[in-house]
Amino acid sequence: MIRQAQLSILSISLLTIFAAVACTASPTPTPVLTDAVTPTGVLVFGDISDEAAETINGTQPIADYLAAQLGDYGISRAEVKIAPDLDTMVQWIADGEVDLYFDSPYPALVISQKTGAEPILRRWKYGVSAYHTLFFARADAGITTVADLQGHMIAFEESFSTSGYMLPLSYLLEQGLNPVSKESPEVTVAADEIGYTFSTADNTTIQWVVSGRVVAGVVDNVTYELFVPEETRQEFVVLAETEDVPRQLVLVRPGMDADLKAAIKSGLLTMDETEEGRAVLDVFLTTEFDEFPEGADAALARMRTLYDLAQSR
């Protein structure tokens, strides 16, 4: 919230400056107001973001597209609701205010665990169906394995991140190591511990490792390959890689009508088969939706194991 306020102040300052120099500024997107209670005939998409406008603009087309196919089920339109945090979203889903929710496995499982929401499909986000986590460190730090991280501080992303928390934490635990949460990178780490602190973002994690603020960090393999330049990767050493997990899960609220759920599932699975559907998927940064290859139960079982490991800390 503090960061958002800072950015708002900066934006106002910029607008003032640009007005003074008679320059044109980009219009600020108008936030979409959502109702506190889901009205009858409305399909509600939910998301957690600190950039509500951007998220709504990216989600509203797919919501409208899907709603248009659900007229037989009393759905006439769609809305997008943005929650500032996970707890709010848990509350909204539990209360039936949000019908559909998309997220990576760990927060999805948290919500599912707390609300009874049901994972129905896998989402290919950014063209990726699954991903995993990399442990990396500066090559000149003298660290070559995760075991070498004992007594050092490493950077995780945030506490509800799949690749930045659940996967690396469970990996370290399964390796028999002792990861301990720390408030900041400067806190002392005991020799038998692997201290971890939250950077809040993958790019911050990478910068912390580059600048030496922490000896190692974790990011998902897609981020690592897409955003870390080759020259920098030459200066890093990858200590370990976790197993793959689905990139994102599609959750439907508990208690949803079976026919409606089936219709939603069908609509999402077939979106990539039409031109209009693919255009909507592009806006939603999604390639397609599919079933869990190994079956929903098997896939969710392993993820729940990892989830439980993470929750145990």
Partner 1 sequence: MSEIEALKRPLALKLTATITIIVVLVVAIVTLLTIRRERQTFQAELEQQAALLVNTIAASSADSLYFLDADFLSDLMLDLGRFEVITFGRIYDEDGRIVADAFDQSILFSFDPDPFGLQLLQTGDTLFTWQDEQLIAGQSVIIGSEVVGAVSVGLPTAFLEPKIAAVRNQGIIIATIAVIIGLILALFFSRSITIPLQAMIQATQRIMAGDLTQRVDIHSKDELALLGGHFNQMTAQLQQTLEQMEQEIDERKRAQIALEAARDAAESANRAKSTFLANMSHELRTPLSAIIGYSELMLEQIELDDYDELEDELKRVIHAGEHLLMIISDILDLSKIEAGKMELVPETFDLTDFIESVAMTAQPLAHKKGNKLVISCDEALGEFYADRSRVRQILLNLLGNAAKFTDHGTITLTAAREQAATGSTIRFTVSDTGIGIPNEQMRLLFKPFVQVDPSSTRRYEGTGLGLAISHRFCQMMGGRIMVESEVGKGSTFTVDLPVAVDVMH
Which residues of this protein are in contact with partner 1, per CB under 8 A?
Answer: 3, 6-7, 9-11, 13-14, 17-18, 20-26, 199-204, 206-208, 210-211, 213, 227-229, 231-232, 235
Cβ at position 56, least distance to partner 1 in Å: 17
Compute the least distance from the CB of residue 45 to partner 1, in Å: 23
Q: Which residues, in sequence order, are bridge partners of residue 246?
A: 130
Yes or no: say if 299 and 98 are a contact pair by the CB < 8 Å rule: no
Task: Please work out, in degrees rounded to the nearest 5, the angle formed at the alpha carbon of residue 290 by the alpha carbons of 286 and 292.
Answer: 125
Give the C-alpha distances (Å, rounded to integers) separating 55 from 8, 147, 264, 284, 309. 17, 39, 21, 9, 31
Treating both helix axes as pointing N-terminal to C-terminal, what angle do 105-115 and 86-94 enclose, rounded to 10 degrees?
40
Residue (53 or 94) nearer to partner 1, CB? 53
Cα three-residue angle 276-285-28, rounded to 5 degrees: 100
**Nearest residue (CB) to partner 1, 202 versus 288:** 202
Minimum Å gap between C-beta 243 and partner 1 is: 26
- For the chain, report the end-to-end CA distance as a whole number of angstroms: 26
Find, among 299, 311, 282, 284, the residue nearest to 246 by Cα: 299
Q: Whose Cβ is closer to partner 1: residue 14's or residue 190's?
A: 14
Closest contact distance (angstroms) between CB of 279 and partner 1 is 23
- Quick check: helix, strand or coil at residue 292? coil
Of 227, 212, 241, residue with least CA distance to 139: 212
Shortest Å distance, C-beta 295 to partner 1: 36
Give me the least distance between CB of 202 and partner 1, in Å please. 8
- Which of residues 25 and 187 has its CB atom nearest to partner 1 in the complex? 25
Nearer to partner 1, 199 or 242 (CB): 199
- Say how far apart CA 184 and CA 153 lie, in whole Å: 9
Nearer CB in complex with partner 1: 155/280? 155
Name the minimum Å distance from CB 251 to partner 1.
26
Beta bridge partners of 119: 251
* Nearer CB in complex with partner 1: 34/197: 197
